[in-house]
Amino acid sequence: MILCSGQSNMNKPLSYVWNATAEIAAATHANVRLFSVAGAAVPNCADPATKAGAACGPQSNFSANGCVLNHAGQTHCAWLPCNPTTVKDFSAVCYLTAKSLMQLNSKLRMRPIGLVQVAVDGTSLEEWTTPAALSECPAHPTAIKDRTSQRFNGMLSPMVGFSIKLVLWYVGTH
């Protein structure tokens, strides 16, 4: 499984690339499955938002994400076959990386490959980081503490225990 996470760069769909029509038309891979995780921000248990009875802390499943359709009509929280219909709105970086790896290694073409897109535009690195990891950073900015670890809690934590072989992290900088 390849976990593809980050901000808008990782979230750009295949339909945005230079040769999108050709890439999408050729994107039928029987052994590849696509999984898009819906954006969910889950507060830490010490946050005031939890007083209202909301879920808090690292989650063990995607129930906080509300398995719904995204803007492109793709179902979140379900493995979809890789074909022109499903891949056009999937992460271009994630798909094209997997395609390149399959071209470089013929054994990969015969194996099942799961591509998991976990990306949200305009998020900070701190939102994707565990509280324990952030506590190791003495220069942690206080301006975004209200969002600290929320994407990790709701979107990455449920992935713990999956057999992840490669992680791609793509984020822009200011």
Q: Is the pLDDT of residue 76 over 60?
A: no
Q: What residue numbers bound the domain in which 94 lies? A: 2-170
Report pLDDT digits (tens) over 46-65.
655 555 555 677 777 666 55
Q: Is the pLDDT of residue 148 over 90?
A: no
- In angstroms, the Cα distances linking 87 to 34, 81, 100, 103, 115 are 8, 9, 15, 18, 11
Report pLDDT digits (tens) over 92-115.
999 999 999 999 988 877 789 999
Q: Is the pLDDT of residue 89 over 90?
A: yes
> What's the pLDDT score for residue 121?
87
> What's the pLDDT score for residue 71?
46
- In angstroms, the Cα distances linking 8 to 5, 24, 61, 125 are 10, 20, 24, 12
User: Could you give the maximum distance between any two Cα atoms of the chain, in Å?
Assistant: 53
Positive or negative torsion for Cα 72, 78, 83, 89? positive
**41 vs 80: which has the higher pLDDT:** 80
Intra-chain end-to-end CA distance of the chain, in Å: 30
- In angstroms, the Cα distances linking 54 to 57, 103, 121, 149 are 10, 45, 23, 15
How far apart are alpha carbons 116 and 130 in whole angstroms? 20
Q: Is the pLDDT of residue 28 over 80?
A: yes
- In angstroms, the Cα distances linking 76 to 17, 26, 86, 151 are 23, 23, 12, 16
The number of domains in the chain is 1
> What's the pLDDT score for residue 106?
83
CB atoms within 10 A of CB 24: 21
> What's the pLDDT score for residue 22?
97
Beta carbons of 84 and 25 less than 8 angstroms apart: yes
Q: Calculate Rg over the CA atoms of the chain.
A: 17
How confident is the prediction for the chain on average, in pLDDT?
Answer: 80
Q: Is the pLDDT of residue 72 over 60?
A: no
Backbone angles phi, psi at 147, to 5 degrees: -110, 0
* Helix H or strand E encompassing 166: strand 166-170
* Mean predicted confidence (pLDDT) in 144-149: 65
